[in-house]
Chains A and B, each alone.
Chain A
Amino acid sequence: MNILDYAKDHILFLDGGMGTLLQAQGLPAGQLPERWNLSRPEIITRIHQDYYDAGSHVVSANTFGANRLKFSSEELDAIVRAAMAAVRQAAAQSTGTQPKWAALDIGPLGRLLKPYGDLDFEDAVSIFAETVRLGVKYGADLIFIETMNDSYETKAALLAAKENSRLPVFVSNAYGEDGKLMTGASPEAMVAMLEGMGADAIGVNCSLGPKALAPIVERYLQYASVPVLLKPNAGLPRTENGATVYDVSDQEFAQDVSRLISRGVRIAGGCCGTTPAHIRALTQAAAAIVPVPVTEKDMTMVSSYTHAVFFGEKPIRIGERINPTGKKRFREALKAGDMDYILKEGIAQEEQGVEILDVNVGLPDIDESTMLTDAVAELQAIIDLPLQIDTSSPAAMASALRRYNGKPMINSVNGKQETMEAIFPLVKKYGGLVVALTLDERGIPDTAQGRVDIAKRILSQAARYGIGKKDLIFDPLALTVSADPGAASQTLAAIRQIRYELGCHTLLGVSNISFGLPQRDILNGTFFALALGQGLSAGILNPHSQEMQKAYHGYCALMGLDTGFEAYLSYSEKYNAAQPALASGPVGSDLHQAIVKGLKEQAGSLTAAMLKNTPPLTIVEQEIIPALNQVGQGFENKTVYLPQLLMSAEAAKAAFEQVKAAMPAGNAPAKCPYVIATVQGDIHDIGKNIVRLLLENFGYAVTDLGRDVPPEVITQKVVALHAPILGLSALMTTTVPAMEETIRQVRKAAPWCKIMVGGAVLNPEYAAAIGADYYSKDAMEAVRCADHIYTQLMQKRGI
């Protein structure tokens, strides 16, 4: 019988602890338990059989750590084969009369994924995939992914299971006492992601005893539409007469877990410290409990690596600024691969309170797939908001969805058959809340009813892919009111019908309504408020627009969606504070002082004010550079500390940004290209970032390749830019060889390039020994050194 069919009407019992029992049998701490599948199969089989005898339906093979990070391919194959055989044999020998299944057990890899660890996401998928294929080969009935404490690694494992088998997949995460995974995800975030990707059952195991896990289990039960599983520890361990004992007895364990089965848990077993006695007590205690039906939770949600965002009565703001349309500066940043610009747009919107960020990096002449995937990876490294992945390219969409750490919004599908066929399979595979535009092959219907009809067709088509209405959000499209005075009212009517007749959520890109009219913000804000009044669930908007924020905060305050007016009061305070800033501040040599003191905001606003009556280059030459020189000399004389030097450099940068904005494009002063990177294997980049900031201040066109950069990538960039200077950083003795190799490759391909190095492990002698031209002990010395190289270069060219 198929396990999922059986589970529809029965409570499914899993097995209990394995590692703790093996240690009791003499497995030394720190040794790999999977090797016992080969060397002590009789012990492994005996434990499995004890669990089957105790009433377990599912026994997990001893493959928790069976992966190629720990074992060679040959040994891994033998270990999985022996592990599955042991479970089969145990089932055959067991006296238990219950149906029995054998699970391939998959635990975490023990390595953190990039960007905070060094394991690439695709490598993780491939490592899990190898184990999954072996499990299938040796007859597993299901795959049990467990004890995962990182959402991204969980995604990699689930993806590997789905792509390499058709077996049912149960996914279980290990939560800390704070109710989060080690890398920050909440239970709701995990429910959103795992259900979206099609896990057959989800839940929690390890870490804590059943009482302590109960609140987390309750949250799963509240949000999950698939069966919830629970596999707690036997409480907490302590040492008694030299042996490890757990503080929850088998009877107490059985009572606690049974209570949660009565609350709705459908699959239960034990983890560390639990024994066949615990499972026997549990199967007996829970035997009479009538399974609580698993119900569809009609909740529309997306998630990031930390939290879920729910669509409901309270409107959701989706920041629209990460989008090159109509933004010259953004397009330039994209073409230059300037990720910092995109990230700053993201952070600025987060600071304005948006709940979700739209990410669109489509330009005709860039590799959108790579750019979008990189942007998603970089954004989710430093911003914890869910993302809305926005592209018209299905290939770019697939690539970005794969790398996203959570359940994203997907923008978009529409009523065109071709689009639905391209996008719905991606939604099904990776999970997501998909934006559906109410247009089709014939365009956008003029009437509300026409758009609602398209929405209905999209709903029925989605259902064929197994995508329910909670995972669709409709955009009834705002057409320009200047072209058609009835446009706004048709859109508003469509919102109301879709929300209240179809029971679906809606969203709008609000600003299109005012196209072609002056003071668009006024119209946009009013239209947004009207749409909210008709039941709009979310707006894609510019969060820096006061009119939008006014409409949002006013609506929430008036509709009872802002408890105690907290958000409104806080917004009104900020609103008041924002007003005087519009007046111009003092002008003059205060700028020099602001830079010396490291006051970033002041330096920016003073420069903006000065630019009204002073030529840009005069400000640079008479204010910014002298201030920087003063601070730089202070640093060299040890009267200014490094953090102060940096504060001044940031203030100068803020001033430069104003200057650049005021100058004609392509006319910004730059000395020469300068390529900078932290070498392969090294992830330290604070020092490198400091050097970069100062070099930019002193006029170099710096291309920053980031950290952990392979020699070939650095070499290619130096050649492509014909850069006269390369700066390399390394902080660890273990990565100096990578620096040496980089120097060797650059020498060969770009003999003109002068190479300077720095970092904690280097000194002048060491630098010379690995073939560098220059060594800089700190950031100011790097600037002096670059100036020296630059001057020589100019002299050579006779300038």
Chain B
Amino acid sequence: MISLCSFPLPPVNRREALRYAGARAETPELSLLLDAVLADITPHLQGKVCWIDTPIRRQGDILDLGFAKTNSAALARNLVGCDRAVVFAATLGLEFDRVLARYGRVSPAKALLLQGLGAERIEGLCDVFCEKIRQEAQKNGCFPAPRFSPGYGDLPLSLQRDIFRVLDCPRKIGLTLNESLLMSPSKSVTAIIGLGHPRESSCSGGCNQYSKTDCIYRSTP
């Protein structure tokens, strides 16, 4: 069964939004601009998520997710010890794209800040959702693996097609996939959260879990 819920978004992490926009500090001028952007966008943001709970089986190098199979080694590593997974799609809604397009016409500076803010907001939504999953899993003595999305490591982006089919994303949360496997609304995430037995694991793995140390968006050195 596909579950569906709207979540309230967490408080804005301004530092994080600015970091995504390429600013490592908040100057007074940036502060004013970010306030203006927040005033425009906040009434329009949604926090919709749809998800399923699916069993995971392993057949040699192949991971069977119930609705699709993959031989991704990176996902296999991520799912070590997990026999189930939550597969979810989350979106901030289409109005974000409309405001962004409007800014694109009148103010590239605002567009850049909104882009950064959108990244911060959708990550925030995913964190809220993952926390809910963590709490529910814990009741059953399970722990979530860090969320893992198509396109991470060797997990192909084409898995998006399977995820969209099984989650019925267009109907459930108004999220669509185009021919280049891009999602609309643009500020959306699909991911897999493995559920396994007690081990060192957290939902927000952060940048430290990845080996690419020269990423300009890396949050920690």
Contacts and interface: CB of A to CB of B under 8 A. Distances in A.
B218 interface: no
A683 B108 CA distance: 15
B170 to A, nearest CB: 4
A115 interface: yes
Given A381-B98, A598-B109, A686-B112, A117 B176 contact: yes
Contacts of A110: 164, 170-171, 176
A734 B181 CA distance: 9
Most chain A beta carbons < 10 A, residue from B25, B29, B181:
B29
A278 to B, nearest CB: 19
Contacts of B180: 118, 681-682, 732, 734-735
A598 B106 CA distance: 15
A117 B113 contact: no
A183 B170 CA distance: 11
B95 interface: yes
A111 B23 contact: no
A598 B29 CA distance: 7
A689 B94 contact: no
Nearest to A207: B171
A382 B102 contact: yes
Given A381-B98, A598-B109, A647 B33 contact: yes
Nearest to A239: B1
Contacts of A599: 29
Contacts of B1: 237-239, 244
A112 B184 contact: yes
Most chain B beta carbons < 10 A, residue from A111, A340, A686:
A686
Q: Bin chain B's interface residue count.
A: 35 or more
Given A118-B179, A642-B21, A30 B162 contact: yes
Given A30-B162, A644-B29, A117 B105 contact: no
Contacts of B18: 641, 643
A437 B94 CA distance: 39
Contacts of A344: 105-106
A649 interface: yes
B107 A650 contact: yes
Interface in B160-183: 162, 164-166, 170-171, 173-174, 176-182
A422 to B, nearest CB: 34
Contacts of A239: 1
Contacts of A732: 180, 182
B24 interface: yes
Interface in A136-156: 147, 149-150
A647 B103 CA distance: 13
Contacts of B116: 643
B81 interface: no
B25 A650 contact: no
B12 interface: no
B36 to A, nearest CB: 11
B27 interface: yes
A119 B102 CA distance: 20
B30 interface: yes
A685 interface: yes
B192 interface: no
Contacts of A347: 102, 105-106
Contact of A116 (B21, B173, B184): B184
A644 to B, nearest CB: 6
Contacts, number: 142
B104 interface: yes
A343 B104 CA distance: 11
Contacts of A115: 101
A184 interface: yes
Interface string A638-653: 0001111011011000
A270 interface: no
Contacts of B165: 30
B67 interface: yes
Given A149-B174, A686-B104, A642 B166 contact: no
Contacts of B219: none
A182 B21 contact: no
Interface string B87-122: 000000111011011101111110111011000000
Contacts of B164: 110
A686 B94 CA distance: 17
A29 interface: yes
A355 B8 CA distance: 31
Contacts of A683: 182
Interface string A101-137: 0000000101110011111000000000000000000
Most chain A beta carbons < 10 A, residue from B2, B25, B116, B170:
B170
B29 A650 contact: no
Interface in A338-397: 340, 343-344, 347, 381-384
B6 interface: yes
Contact of A117 (B2, B29, B178): B178
Nearest to A19: B168
A177 B174 CA distance: 13
B137 to A, nearest CB: 16
A597 interface: yes
Given A641-B23, A642-B21, 19 more contacts: A110-B170, A111-B177, A116-B98, A116-B184, A117-B184, A149-B170, A174-B171, A237-B2, A244-B1, A347-B106, A382-B102, A641-B18, A641-B21, A643-B30, A643-B109, A647-B29, A681-B179, A689-B111, A690-B108
10 contacts: A108-B171, A111-B176, A111-B177, A182-B93, A343-B105, A347-B105, A382-B102, A598-B33, A641-B22, A644-B30
Interface of A: 29-30, 108, 110-112, 115-119, 147, 149-150, 174, 176-177, 182-184, 206, 237-239, 244, 340, 343-344, 347, 381-384, 597-600, 641-644, 646-647, 649-650, 681-683, 685-686, 689-690, 693, 732, 734-735
- Top 4 A-B residue pairs of the complex, sorted by shortest distance between their CB atoms: A182-B174, A642-B22, A646-B109, A641-B23
